[in-house]
Amino acid sequence: MRLNLAPVCRPQQWKPLLTGGTARRSYAFQSGSLNFEVFNRRAKWLQKERAAANVEEGRQADYLKDEVAMRVCERILDVKRQFPRVLDLGANSCNIARALLRPDPDPESEPPVTDPLATKITELVAAESSHSLLHRDHDHPSLSTTHVPDFKLTRHVLEHDELLPFEPDSFDMVLSSMSMHWINDLPGVLSQINSVLKPDCPFIGAMLGGDTLYELRTSLQLAEQERKGGISPHVSPLADVRDVGGLLQRTGFKMLTVDVEDIVVDYPDMFALMQDLQAMGEGNAVLGREMGPIGRDVLLAGDAIYRALHGNEDGSIPATFRIIHMIGWKESPHQAQPLRRGSGQASLKDLLEGQ
């Protein structure tokens, strides 16, 4: 998918904002909590609070989170059941709620789905650590529930974004969109999600991963190597799709589905991209990162390298956001089970040869 966008604004000073690259994050699963941290939780909270303070700029920069939230919610169409109580973990500015309340979620299906997906849900608990971001659009028309009177949106501010303060077996579905790539203890959070789900209920999530923003990463690395003779750690480690599937399985989820898609967004220049990342609250929050703004000479060189290596013919530059989608179901004795190996009655070879 490719989106053509104009910059939100032009700042006076540029901060190190790279959120992803090919740096791979590996996980050694264990039953307890992890004893180390990759991301500075307070720095990430402050970034979200600052992003929420500029309401109009934040709303303009929500295009990516809104798009991913819609794609997460589209997967609910395949589940033919009602969900009395649903958790939106890492709700940001309630992007999931906005997608659920959108009319005509699947007009091209047969028959067309015209009712908002919120009609399948009684209560959505939007949980987020940033109070300002969670309540930013509390009076915005896109979150109005007047056309879905039986839908209730409950906002819950998390004291710790990696500790879920909910009772076991208390939700009929858990959703998460564009937030789990900032989790330090991803195995622990997935285990808690499995715990709060009722048996035979789904977790549907999406997070940044893999080669996200590889164009920006390589351009800044080459610019710093040229201007400073070294490379600073501007890249946050992101999970690979192979890690995600293994983690879901090890944390008790069944009937797994993991897939990847790239969303490519075109920007006028590298500075517009970096400004939008700041407005999204997606700044670099790695512990031990270089503090302060990136030098002007490095930024100018980086923009020139970006255009030379990755630029489009029309003068714009592409930025790739790799989205890892995941679905897992909490185990239940009533779930469909695979047949015993070797019990099949049809030959795959015969079926293929008959085509």
The rounded average pLDDT for each run of 10 residues, N- to C-terminus, in the chain (355 residues) is: 49 35 46 64 94 95 96 94 97 97 85 91 98 96 94 97 96 97 94 97 95 91 79 71 92 95 95 94 80 78 94 95 97 82 79 76
User: Domains plus CATH for the chain?
Assistant: 44-331 (3.40.50.150)
pLDDT at residue 297 in the model: 85
- CA torsion sign, 248 to 250 to 256 to 258? positive
**Order of all β-strands in the sheet with 202-208:** 2-4, 253-267, 317-330, 202-208, 173-177, 83-89, 121-128, 152-157
Contacts of 81 (CB under 8 A, 6+ apart): 120
Q: What is the pTM of this model?
A: 0.85
Q: Copy the structure tokens of residue 346.
A: 């049809």
- CA torsion sign, 269 to 274 to 276 to 277? positive
pLDDT at residue 324 in the model: 97
The neighbour count for residue 64, using CB atoms within 10 Å, is 22
Q: Copy the structure tokens of residue 259.
A: 């897939």
